[in-house]
C-alpha cells in the first residue's frame, strides 16, 4: 500500500536542509515517537538531504505516512553514486566523506532501500515503524499541526522566545534567591551543606526538605527553561544560514544570542542532571544499545565542533562488540561531554573515540593529542566547578560541570571512569561499561580497593575471608578466572589472592592476562598465588617472572597471609 504524503521539501538551497530536518523531527513528534527516535529520524533525513544538496545540487524530500510506518523518500537528478556496493559495505574511501552518511542512515532506520542510475539520479527510501499501541493521526491533522508549528517570521519568533526566556529566568532568579537565603541560614548553623549531609543533627530534616523542594522546582522548570532555549538556538541557526544573509551588526547580535543560548542550555542541563542524581530522582530508560549505532549518532552530533579542520575527530568501533543494556541517552551524554572536552583542549592534532570488548565489559576510550593535564591536577578534574588554570582554559570559558556529571552518570549506569594524561602529549579518558547481553550472566562485584579472592573452592574462599575478617582489609570473592578478569576490568582491587587449579581459566592464565595489560603491572596490582599444588622450580620461576608471591594453602595462617599482603602492597591496609 502506498503511503499518504504529509509534507515535502524542495532542496533548492542550504536552508532547505535545515527545514527538512525540522520537518522530520516535528512529524516524528506528532506520530508519537520518543525523543531519541525523533533524533534518529531527524539525523537520517539531515544526512540524506545534505548528500542530495551537496553532491546532486538539489533534490526533494518527501515524508509519507503508512498504516504502520513513517517513510522518508529523498530523490535527486544527479549523476548517481558510483561504487554503491563498496559504499554500503563500508569499503569505499573518499576524501570528501561521501558514502559515510548512507552507512550511518542504514544503522539509524528500520528499513533502507536505494536506487541509483548513472546520469539519472538517486532515490533513497527509509522508514521507521510507528510506536506500538498508538494510533497515528490522519494525514490532514498532521499537515494542520505542522502548519500551526511553523514560524512565519523568524524575527518575531526570536522576540517571543526571548520574552518567555526572560520571564522564566526572572522566576528562576526569585526562587534562587529564596534558596540562597535558606542555604545561608543552614550554613550558619551547620557549617555548610556538606556538613549537614554528614551529620544527623536536629536540622538535617530541614536540609533534606529544602533539597527536595529544590529538586522538585528544578524538575518543574526544566521544560520552561529548555524549550525556549532550544527554540532560540534553532531560530538563530536559521537566521545565520538563511537568505537574504545577515550583514554587519545583525550577524554580531544574532551570534551573541546563539552563543548565550548555547551556554545557558548546557549549564541548565548539567545542573538539572546533577541535582536529579544527588536527589536520587534520575530515571533510567534501559534498552539494548549498539556501540556502532551510538558512534554514528555521536559523529553526526559532534561533527560541527571540528569543522575548522584543525582537529581530526575519528570514531573506531571494534569488531564483535557485545550489546549493552543501558540508558542510551545517558551514555551518549557521557561520551559527548568527554569528546567535547577533548576537542576544547586540543588546539591541533586528533581526537580518537574507540570501543573494544574486554570479556563482558565494553571499554570506551577518548584519546586526544591536546595540552594534557598535570599529575597534581588529575584528581581534581572530576570535582564540580573546578577548572584547571592555564592559558587555554582562560580563553575557553566553562562551568566545570561536564566531567563531574560524566562521572556521576557513569556511576549510575554501573560503570567506572578514569583518566591518564601527560602535559603536552594529551589525555585519555576510559569508560568501562558492563555488558548484560547475557541474561544468565551473574552480576560483576565491585572489587575496588578490596582483596579479591579468586578460587573455585568455596571452603578455600571462606578460609581466606575468615583470616582477614577482623583486619583492615575488605574482601570480595569470585569463583572463576573469567569473573575475576571482568571484575578487575571495572575496578582496581588492592590485591588478588589467586588459586592456580580452577576449571576454565586456571590461575596462571589469569595472571598472564592481567600482566598483559600495561596498566596492571606488579606494583599497580599485587597478586598472591594461594595454592595446594606442588610447584617445581620452573613453575615458581614463571610465577615470580609474572610478579606474584606464593603461599601454600595447606599451611596458611592468618599471620602469614597478613604479612604477605602487607609486603606486596607496601602496608596499604594500615595495620
pLDDT digits (tens, 9 = 90+) for 36-74: 888 889 889 988 998 888 888 889 999 999 988 999 999
Cell numbers standing for residue 236: 538563530
pLDDT band for 284, please (50, 70, 90 cuts).
confident
DSSP letter string over 231-288? HHHHHHHHHHHSSSPP-THHHHHHHHHHHHHHHHHHHHHHHHHHHHHHHT-PPP-EEE
Adjacency order of strands within the sheet including 475-478: 475-478, 451-454, 495-498, 527-531, 548-552
Q: What pLDDT is stored for residue 153 in this prediction?
A: 45
Q: What gap in Å lies between CA 36 and CA 129, rounded to an integer?
A: 14
Domain termination site, one of 279, 306, 330: 279
- Given a cut of 50, is residue 160 above it in pLDDT? no
Residues 293 and 430 in one domain: yes
Q: What pLDDT is stored for residue 193 in this prediction?
A: 40
Residues 179 and 248 in one domain: yes
pLDDT band for 128, please (50, 70, 90 cuts).
very high
Residues 427 and 465 in one domain: no
Residues 70 and 120 in one domain: yes
Range with lowest mean pLDDT among 113-122, 378-387, 419-428 = 378-387
- Given a cut of 70, is residue 232 above it in pLDDT? yes
The number of angstroms, rounded, from the C-alpha of 553 to the middle of its chain's C-alpha atoms is: 45
CATH number at residue 420: 3.30.565.10
- Report which listed range, 25-29, 88-92, 167-171, is most confident: 25-29
Per-chain mean pLDDT for the chain: 79
Q: What pLDDT is stored for residue 195 in this prediction?
A: 46
- Given a cut of 70, is residue 245 above it in pLDDT? yes
Domain termination site, one of 279, 305, 324: 279
CB-CB neighbours of 170 under 10 Å: 10
Q: What gap in Å lies between CA 454 and CA 530, rounded to an integer?
A: 9
Q: What gap in Å lies between CA 260 and CA 255, rounded to an integer?
A: 9
Q: What pLDDT is stored for residue 217 in this prediction?
A: 66
Query: How many structural domains does the chain have?
Result: 4
DSSP letter string over 189-204? HHSSHHHHHH--STTH
Residues 12 and 133 in one domain: yes
Domain-located, residue 444: no
Residue 82 — φ and ψ, nearest 5°? -75, 160
Domain-located, residue 274: yes
Residues 91 and 191 in one domain: no
Residues 138 and 12 in one domain: yes
For residues 554 and 431, the model is more confident at 431
Helices (H), 9-68: 14-30, 35-56
Q: What pLDDT is stored for residue 51 in this prediction?
A: 87
> What residues are paired with 363 via a beta bridge?
356, 432
- Given a cut of 50, is residue 553 above it in pLDDT? yes
Is the pTM higher than 0.75?
Answer: no
Domain-located, residue 575: no
Q: What is the pLDDT of residues 410-464, one digit of tens each?
A: 888 888 888 898 888 899 999 988 876 444 446 667 777 889 999 988 888 888 9
Domain of residue 89: give its range. Answer: 4-149
Q: What pLDDT is stored for residue 429 in this prediction?
A: 92
Who contacts 72 (Cβ-Cβ below 8 Å, separation ≥6)?
A: 24, 41, 44, 45, 48, 61, 62, 63, 64, 125, 126, 127
Residues 346 and 260 in one domain: no
Who contacts 186 (Cβ-Cβ below 8 Å, separation ≥6)?
A: 193, 196, 203, 206, 207, 210
Cell numbers standing for residue 470: 577482623
Residues 144 and 177 in one domain: no
Neighbour-count burial of 21, counting CB atoms closer than 10 A to its CB (0-12 exposed, 13-18 middle, 19+ buried): buried
Amino acid at each position: 500500500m502506498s503511503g499518504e504524503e504529509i509534507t515535502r521539501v524542495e532542496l533548492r538551497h542550504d536552508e532547505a536542509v535545515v527545514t527538512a530536518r525540522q520537518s522530520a523531527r516535528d512529524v516524528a513528534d506528532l506520530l508519537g515517537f520518543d525523543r531519541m527516535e525523533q533524533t534518529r529520524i531527524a539525523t537520517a533525513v539531515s544526512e540524506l538531504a545534505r548528500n542530495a544538496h551537496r553532491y546532486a545540487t538539489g533534490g526533494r524530500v518527501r515524508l509519507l505516512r503508512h498504516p504502520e510506518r513513517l517513510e522518508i523518500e529523498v530523490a535527486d537528478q544527479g549523476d548517481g553514486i558510483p561504487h554503491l556496493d563498496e559504499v554500503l559495505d563500508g569499503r569505499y574511501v573518499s576524501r570528501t566523506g561521501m558514502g559515510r552518511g548512507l552507512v550511518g542512515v542504514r544503522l539509524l532506520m528500520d528499513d533502507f532501500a536505494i536506487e541509483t542510475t548513472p546520469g539519472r539520479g538517486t532515490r533513497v527510501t527509509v522508514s521507521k515503524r510507528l510506536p506500538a499501541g498508538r494510533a497515528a493521526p490522519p494525514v490532514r491533522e498532521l499537515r494542520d499541526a505542522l502548519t500551526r508549528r511553523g514560524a512565519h517570521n523568524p524575527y518575531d519568533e526570536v522576540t517571543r522566545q526571548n520574552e518567555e526566556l526572560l520571564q522564566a529566568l526572572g522566576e528562576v532568579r526569585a526562587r534562587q534567591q529564596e534558596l540562597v537565603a535558606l542555604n545561608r541560614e543552614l550554613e550558619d548553623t551547620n557549617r555548610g551543606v556538606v556538613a549537614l549531609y554528614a551529620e544527623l543533627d536536629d536540622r538535617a530534616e530541614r536540609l533534606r526538605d529544602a533539597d527536595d523542594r529544590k529538586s522538585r522546582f528544578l524538575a518543574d522548570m526544566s521544560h520552561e527553561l529548555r524549550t525556549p532555549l532550544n527554540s532560540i538556538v534553532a531560530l538563530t541557526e536559521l537566521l545565520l544560514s538563511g537568505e537574504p544573509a545577515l550583514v554587519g551588526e545583525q550577524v554580531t547580535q544574532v551570534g551573541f544570542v546563539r552563543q548565550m543560548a548555547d551556554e545557558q542550555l548546557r549549564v541548565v542541563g548539567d545542573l538539572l542532571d546533577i541535582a536529579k542524581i544527588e536527589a536520587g530522582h534520575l530515571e533510567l530508560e534501559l534498552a539494548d544499545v549498539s556501540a556502532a549505532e551510538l558512534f554514528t549518532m555521536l559523529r553526526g552530533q559532534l561533527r560541527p565542533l571540528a569543522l575548522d579542520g584543525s582537529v581530526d575527530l575519528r570514531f573506531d568501533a571494534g569488531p564483535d562488540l557485545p550489546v549493552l543494556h543501558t540508558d542510551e541517552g545517558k551514555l551518549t551524554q557521557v561520551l559527548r561531554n568527554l569528546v567535547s572536552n577533548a576537542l576544547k583542549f586540543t588546539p591541533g592534532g586528533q581526537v580518537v573515540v574507540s570501543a573494544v570488548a574486554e570479556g563482558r565489559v565494553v571499554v570506551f576510550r577518548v584519546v586526544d593529542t591536546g595540552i594534557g593535564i598535570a599529575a597534581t591536577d588529575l584528581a581534581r578534574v572530576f570535582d564540580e566547578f573546578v577548572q584547571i588554570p592555564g592559558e587555554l582554559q582562560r580563553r575557553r570559558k566553562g562551568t566545570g560541570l561536564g566531567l563531574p556529571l560524566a562521572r556521576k552518570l557513569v556511576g549510575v549506569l554501573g560503570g567506572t571512569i578514569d583518566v591518564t594524561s601527560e602535559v603536552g602529549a594529551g589525555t585519555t579518558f576510559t569508560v568501562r561499561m558492563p555488558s548484560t547481553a547475557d541474561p544468565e550472566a551473574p552480576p560483576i562485584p565491585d572489587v575496588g580497593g578490596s582483596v579479591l579472592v579468586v578460587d573455585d573452592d568455596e571452603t578455600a574462599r571462606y578460609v581466606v575471608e575468615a583470616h582477614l575478617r577482623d583486619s583492615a582489609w575488605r574482601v570480595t570473592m569470585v569463583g572463576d578466572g573469567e569473573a575475576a578478569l571482568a571484575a578487575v576490568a571495572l575496578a582496581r582491587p588492592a590485591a588478588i589472592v589467586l588459586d592456580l587449579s580452577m576449571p576454565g581459566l586456571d590461575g596462571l592464565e589469569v595472571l598472564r592476562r592481567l600482566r598483559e595489560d600495561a596498566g596492571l603491572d606488579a606494583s599497580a596490582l599485587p597478586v598472591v598465588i594461594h595454592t595446594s599444588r606442588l610447584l617445581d622450580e620452573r613453575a615458581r620461576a614463571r610465577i615470580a617472572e609474572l610478579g606474584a608471591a606464593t603461599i601454600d594453602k595447606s599451611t596458611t595462617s592468618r599471620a602469614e597471609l597478613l604479612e604477605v599482603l602487607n609486603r606486596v602492597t607496601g602496608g596499604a591496609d594500615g595495620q
